[in-house]
Amino acid sequence: MTSFLEKLEFAVAQSRSLLCIGLDPDPTRVPERFLGDPDPVFAFNRSIIDATADLVCAYKPNIAFYEALGIDGLQALKKTIDYVPQGLPVILDAKRGDIGSTAQAYARAAFEYWRADAVTVNPFLGYDAVEPFLSYADRGILLLCRTSNPGASDFQGLPCPDRPLYLVIAEKALEWNTAGNVGLVMGATYPRELALVREIAPDLWFLVPGVGSQGGDLRAALRAGLDARGAGLMVNVSRQVIYTADPRSAAQGLRDALNGLRDEMAAPSGRDLASRHLEGQRETLVRELQRIGAVRFGDFTLKSGSPSPIYLDLRLLVSHPDVLAQVACAYAQVLERLEYHRLAAIPYAALPIGTAVALETGRPLIYPRREAKEYGTRKVIEWEFRPGETAVVLDDVITTGASKVEALSSLKEAGLQVQDVVVLIDREQGGKASLERRGYRLHAVMTITEMVETLSREGLITGDQRAAVLRYLGREG
């Protein structure tokens, strides 16, 4: 066993773990009991490795923490790498990126002096910055793709020209992976992007930082990034383990949590990655909708006068642009499967949603007025379109479907082709069947039942609240 991939696959199977521990020692946080050692940083790292070696798939020392300590720190790094058991891969987190002889020197240092099994590489300078690392066919090259930091969107999300830069990097990774030794660094803080890259690169290994202190959601990251085998991710944590009172217990808890989620998410036969990713996105969004008060439970009276144990107020989204952006991404996932020229948002709640979706998808937006203007152009349909084009109708929720039928009629009378309606939430009160009887197709990001089951499973609503909603829908509670 000499290659990075062989080591990694063996370690994952041997320890049944996707946990990667970052060995990032901060001298101000190293426990006092190590400070009397001649090499306190190495002594601290050794204790972490001794406590966790049977629980991890890899270790990842970040070279910056050692360089900051000068020669003593670099010596501690060398001893740390040499101390890691032979069956476990070491990823040197160096984020190297240069060209020519400089890149060759970086590659020699990483693989010949430090003897790392893999290294993180910045591909910003292009193929000639990566090629010296690729020439070490038995070592791993983990390209920065969609990193976990907030500023990642400054460049990585820029359109190039019809897709964001991080997707171009993923495509290049596949192109350069002739020796099977290329992976990607994908932040847990961006599960939608993680899912999109997994669809492009179903078989690559991803190094996934960002869980824990950076706010990445473990469930969402696994839902988005696990490959068809339920693997393909090295979930990196550092402070959550190495600075705890009991590193072994912390690592075991994370390893077991990872495995529990892997077992839970084991895809049934024939279930594709896209379906699993959409489910993970939906679960995250449900939690956010409840957090901002767009989903509430109690005793409510609806506009129709009927009582309801659940109330949806998606107009709140305009006051929470971060959640509105997630909603737009969820719509975009559904729309990817449809063919259309324009989006048609139904006033009024769907207008801000439609605008966000238009920005997310790059498709133009129109909307059917509730009443024709009695002045000026007397338009029934606002904004630009051409008769014969196909439009997809967007709304926030569907109940009986009456407002959708009215909007569909207006669009058809204006010469547009319409067949599909996309909503965020199906209240499961006859709207879908009503549309289907008229020859239309409904696509909902989620149903009330799915939303309630997610909140119940995660302990965010009580059993009585769940039962009340299911009874309201005509199901057993």
Q: Which residues are annotated as catalytic? A: 95
267 DSSP 8-state letter? P
Q: Hey, CA dihedral for 234, 235, 237, 240, is it positive or negative?
A: negative
Tally of CB atoms within 10 A around 101: 9
161 preceded by a cis bond (ω within 30 of 0): yes
Short-list 70, 131, 141, CA closest to 101: 131
**H or E element, residue 292:** none
Would you call the peptide bond into 66 cis, given omega within 30 degrees of 0 as the criterion? no
Place of tokens 């997610």: 454
Structure tokens at 367: 């909307």
Half-sphere exposure of 228 (CA within 13 A, CB side): 12
Residue among 12, 7, 3, 10 nearest 232 (CA): 12
Side chain identity at residue 253, one-letter code = G
Instruction: Tell me how far CA of residue 202 lies from CA of 248, 420, 471, in angstroms.
Output: 32, 29, 41
**Residue 16: which residues within 8 A CB-CB, separation 6 or more?**
255, 259
Tokens of 97: 């990126």
Q: Which bin fits 212, alpha (ψ -120 to 50), beta or left (φ > 0)?
A: left
Backbone phi and psi for residue 138, each to the nearest 5 degrees, phi listed first: -90, 0
- Alpha-carbon span 197 to 190, nearest angstrom: 11
Q: Compute the radius of gyration of the chain from its Cα atoms.
A: 26
Q: What is the DSSP string of 93-131?
A: EEEE---HHHHHHHHHIIIIIS--SEEEE-GGG-HHHHH
